[in-house]
């Protein structure tokens, strides 16, 4: 008998076809988000779940779904999964690293360019019929080339962002939990500095850290005050890493110049104060949203699930100790 798998959100046809070769698949192709109760009900008789960052896989759900053997997240981040609870119950948890690095780095650079050159403000200006012709001081922005880029979080995606900065001849500084190997620093022309040094020196501060209790409000009012008044903050990693209320105050008061945001606290809800500001670019968590990347993410998650349910080891297993308990 094939193991049963629930796919909690809409995926691509080839993803379902791949899963169906090894599993009995129930899918939510209508793409209506499931409440915690609905998710538990539909998972009660399942051995696997291919889930998204909107699905909370926690102790309460695991208690109600004792047959569950794998939670395969279609994301590189996994703060929606209680890893300790999964491990204790022998549930393998997986993610999709690597396949989205380039697309997410591209989006970070898009936000840098859009904020620096005031693109959303300029588009709103022209759509509103306000453009009366060229003049010298019209919508003055700032240069990205030759500027100092500060990256907080120099993992895979942070390093890809630094690589792109080479083409803009930027000075790259970074802060990370652990300093990179010297050969990587040389290749990226990146200099390790303290967090405070980075905040004080960078023209662009790009955040690329996972969300966890220790990174909650990593950037708050105190950190924003350490940045240059001309600096631009980019958050394309996870909501909650930035104190959004403090950021709104900083943008209103001119503490920093501007911000570009792909993620928010409590998304899809977000602080309505952002909508009152012209000096912020807002996009709805689309960092990895290219067709090729999202297809690769979904297929990676499917392969992780199938491996777990057919006696293998998932390529992207987050909690190897759970496998021995499965």
Catalytically annotated residue among 9, 118, 175, 238? 238
pTM: 0.94
Alpha helices in the chain (DSSP H): 13-22, 36-43, 59-64, 83-88, 101-116, 119-127, 156-167, 182-188, 195-201, 221-226, 244-253, 291-309
Catalytically annotated residue among 42, 187, 267, 295? 267
Residue that has been written with the tokens 């945001």 in this structure: 261
Catalytically annotated residue among 187, 249, 285, 295? 285
pLDDT in tens, the chain (326 residues): 899 999 999 999 999 999 999 999 999 999 999 999 999 999 999 999 999 999 999 999 999 999 999 999 999 999 999 999 999 999 999 999 999 999 999 999 999 999 999 999 999 999 999 999 999 999 999 999 999 999 999 999 999 999 999 999 999 999 999 999 999 999 999 999 999 999 999 999 999 999 999 999 999 999 999 999 999 999 999 999 999 999 999 999 999 999 999 999 999 999 999 999 999 999 999 999 999 999 999 999 999 999 999 999 999 999 999 988 76
Residue that has been written with the tokens 């992207």 in this structure: 316
> Is 146 an annotated catalytic residue?
no
- Residues 69, 309 contacting (CB under 8 angstroms): yes
Span between the terminal Cα atoms of the chain, in Å = 18
> Is 135 an annotated catalytic residue?
no
Give the pLDDT of residue 326: 63
Which domains are delineated in the chain?
4-99+291-325 (3.40.50.720), 101-282 (3.40.50.720)
Give the pLDDT of residue 325: 73
> Is 285 an annotated catalytic residue?
yes
| Enclosing H/E stretch for 151 | strand 148-152
């Amino acid at each position: 008998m094939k193991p049963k798998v629930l796919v909690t959100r809409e995926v691509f046809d080839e993803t379902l076809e791949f899963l169906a070769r090894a599993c009995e698949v129930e899918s939510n192709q209508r793409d209506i988000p499931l409440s915690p109760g609905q998710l538990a009900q539909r998972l009660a008789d399942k051995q696997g779940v291919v889930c998204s960052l909107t699905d909370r896989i926690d102790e309460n759900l695991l208690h109600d779904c004792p047959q569950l053997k794998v939670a395969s997240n279609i994301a590189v981040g996994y703060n929606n999964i209680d890893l300790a609870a999964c491990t204790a119950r022998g549930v393998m948890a997986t993610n999709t690293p690597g396949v989205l690095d380039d697309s997410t780095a591209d989006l970070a650079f898009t936000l840098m360019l859009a904020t620096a050159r005031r693109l959303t403000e300029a588009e709103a200006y022209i759509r509103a019929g306000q453009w009366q012709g060229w003049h010298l001081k019209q919508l003055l922005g700032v240069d990205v080339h030759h500027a100092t880029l500060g990256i907080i979080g120099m993992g895979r995606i942070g390093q890809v962002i630094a690589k792109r900065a080479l083409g803009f001849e930027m000075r790259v500084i970074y802060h990370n939990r652990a300093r990179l190997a010297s050969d990587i620093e040389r290749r990226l022309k990146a200099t390790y500095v303290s967090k405070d040094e980075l905040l004080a020196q960078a023209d662009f501060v790009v955040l690329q850290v996972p969300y966890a209790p220790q990174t909650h409000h990593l950037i708050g009012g105190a950190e924003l005050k350490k940045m240059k008044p001309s600096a631009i903050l980019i958050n394309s990693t996870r909501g909650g890493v930035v104190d959004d209320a403090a950021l709104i105050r900083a943008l209103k008061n001119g503490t920093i110049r501007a911000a570009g945001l792909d993620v928010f606290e409590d998304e899809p809800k977000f602080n309505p104060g952002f909508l009152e500001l012209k000096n912020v670019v807002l996009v709805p968590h689309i960092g990895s949203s290219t067709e090729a990347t999202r297809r690769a993410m979904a297929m990676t998650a499917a392969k992780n699930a199938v491996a777990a349910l057919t006696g293998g080891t998932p390529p992207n297993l987050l909690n190897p100790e759970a496998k021995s308990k499965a």
